[in-house]
């Protein structure tokens, strides 16, 4: 009996976590609009120059996936929305690449995406759904098939085929070394994205002892992730619920650079990528470029505790 009784820890560096993602994989990114996107991983994917990815955005993806599109990592995009609401109603890189037909778009809506993930996580080949019937989505997405209620009705339904991403990347407030992550605020659709995916990478603001997770297992939103990357300000420039708000100044800089790119000014866009992604040697160097004064100013006091 020489087997170790020690549990396996899954703490990785960001390079180790991205090292397991390959060109052509299907990668799902968590979060919602301006919050909880695992940006340290998004930047590392771009640094590594991964290509031909199928990017699955959250049900309301922000400009996290717009950045991946603009950096040339995406071949196909699965997302019912790409933008930042009033700040940027339509992602500029998304719009540019779609109009130039450089990316394939798997047209969907919020729940048709969730239904695909639900089918994937439940081992079903498809889920049925009424939403989308009567819209242009089935015409634009040939993977969705209309069928008639087989129970005896006459209503049309959509069969939404299962979606099983190779990897889900999810941002949490904290995680233990075994991959038990807890959100500090809204979980959005993150749990459904994680469950459908073959592997889960967590970006945690902090790694905490297992004891702390056990104090409230009700709060564990993603269990047994395969990799945990510890990264304070790992969602910057987006907000992380319970930790910091979005960096609107930086987002405005991003929006301006991506708009320039859409209008043909690739120099301004490349400068953005150089400054914030290619040149900083690591996450801390990136944060140094943002600046301590700015980062500390984004702090939010917790609204709920447990």
Partner 1 sequence: MSDYTWKEMMAVLFCREMEDGDRVTSGASTEIFFAATMLAQKTHAPNMKLQLGGTCFLCNVTDVEIDKLPATSSSYELLKYAETVHDHSETFLFYCPPGREKYYEDGSPYRDTNHFWFADKFFIGGIQADKFGNANLIGLGKPGDITFRGPGSVGINDVVNSVRDGYVFLTAHDKRRLVEKVDFVSYPGRKICKEVELLGNGPKWIVTPKAIFDFDPETDEARLKSVFPGVTIEDVKENTGFEVKTTDEVETVKEPTKEELDVLRGEVDRTGVLRQD
**Cα(73)–Cα(81) distance, rounded to whole angstroms?**
18
**Residue 288 half-sphere exposure, CB side, CA atoms within 13 Å?**
7
C-alpha to C-alpha distance for 57 and 127, rounded to whole angstroms: 19
CA distance 74 to 198: 19
Bridge partners of 299?
Answer: 244
Helix (H, G, I), strand (E, B) or coil at 235: coil
Q: How far is the CB of 133 from partner 1 (least distance, A)?
A: 5
Contact flag: residue 202 with partner 1 (CB under 8 A): no
CB of 113 closer than 8 Å to CB of 158:
no
Give the number of residues in contact with partner 1, rule: CB under 8 A.
63
| CA gap 115, 79 in Å, rounded | 13
Give me the least distance between CB of 190 and partner 1, in Å please: 8
- In whole angstroms, the minimum distance from the beta carbon of 91 to partner 1 comes to 8
Of 159, 169, 150, give the one whose Cα is nearest residue 28.
169
Contact between 131 and partner 1 (CB under 8 A)? yes
**34: contact with partner 1 by CB under 8 A:** yes
Q: Judged by CB under 8 A, does residue 160 bind partner 1?
A: no
Instruction: Give CA separation, 87 vs 90, 204, 252, 254, in Å.
Output: 9, 27, 8, 11
Shortest distance (Å) from residue 37 CB to partner 1:
10
Please identify which residue in 21, 33, 53, 298 interacts with partner 1, judged by CB under 8 A.
33
Which span sits near partner 1 by CB under 8 A: 41-49, 91-99, 166-174, 269-277? 91-99
Peptide bond into 91 cis (omega under 30): no
Distance, in Å, from the CA atom of 64 to the CA atom of 57, rounded to the nearest integer, reads 8
Nearer to partner 1, 68 or 79 (CB): 79
Total residue length of the chain? 306
Residue 218 binds partner 1 (CB under 8 A): no
Candidate ranges 42-50, 112-120, 207-215, 271-279; the one touching partner 1 (CB under 8 A): 112-120
Q: Judged by CB under 8 A, which stretch of 75-83, 170-178, 263-271, 273-281 contacts partner 1?
A: 75-83
Examine residue 187 and tell whether it contacts partner 1 (CB under 8 A): yes
Determine which residue in the list 54, 69, 129, 273 makes contact with partner 1, applying CB under 8 A.
129
Confirm or reject binding of residue 89 to partner 1 (CB under 8 A): yes
User: Is 183 within 8 Å of 177 (Cβ atoms)?
Assistant: no
List contacts with partner 1 (CB under 8 A).
31-36, 59-60, 79-87, 89-91, 94-95, 98-99, 107-112, 114, 117-118, 129-137, 139-140, 154-156, 185-192, 239, 241-242, 245-246, 300, 303-304
């Amino acid at each position: 009996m020489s087997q170790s009784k020690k549990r396996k820890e899954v703490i990785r560096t960001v390079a180790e976590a991205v090292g397991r993602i390959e060109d052509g994989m299907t990668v799902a990114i968590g979060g919602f609009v301006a919050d909880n996107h695992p940006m340290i991983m998004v930047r590392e994917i771009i640094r590594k120059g991964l290509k031909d990815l199928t990017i699955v955005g959250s049900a309301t993806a922000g400009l996290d996936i717009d950045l991946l599109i603009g950096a040339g990592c995406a071949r196909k995009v699965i997302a019912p929305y790409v933008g930042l609401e009033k700040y940027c109603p339509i992602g500029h890189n998304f719009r540019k690449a779609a109009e130039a037909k450089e990316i394939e778009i798997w047209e969907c809506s919020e729940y048709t995406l969730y239904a695909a993930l639900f089918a994937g996580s439940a081992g079903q080949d498809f889920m049925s759904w009424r939403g989308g019937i009567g819209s242009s989505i089935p015409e634009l997405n040939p993977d969705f098939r209309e069928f008639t209620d087989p129970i005896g009705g006459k209503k049309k339904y959509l069969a939404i085929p299962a979606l099983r991403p190779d990897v889900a990347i999810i941002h949490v407030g904290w995680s233990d070394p075994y991959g038990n992550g807890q959100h500090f605020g809204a979980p959005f659709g993150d749990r459904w994205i994680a469950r459908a995916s073959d592997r889960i990478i967590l970006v945690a603001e902090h790694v905490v002892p297992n004891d702390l997770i056990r104090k409230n297992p009700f709060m564990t939103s993603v269990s047994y992730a395969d990799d945990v990357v510890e990264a304070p300000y790992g969602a910057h420039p987006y907000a992380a619920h319970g930790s910091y708000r979005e960096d609107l100044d930086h987002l405005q800089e991003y929006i301006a650079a991506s708009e320039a790119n859409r209008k043909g000014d690739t120099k301004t866009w490349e400068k953005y990528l150089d400054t914030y992604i290619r040149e900083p040697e690591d996450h801390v160097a990136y944060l140094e470029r943002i600046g301590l004064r700015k980062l500390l100013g984004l702090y939010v006091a917790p609204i709920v505790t447990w």
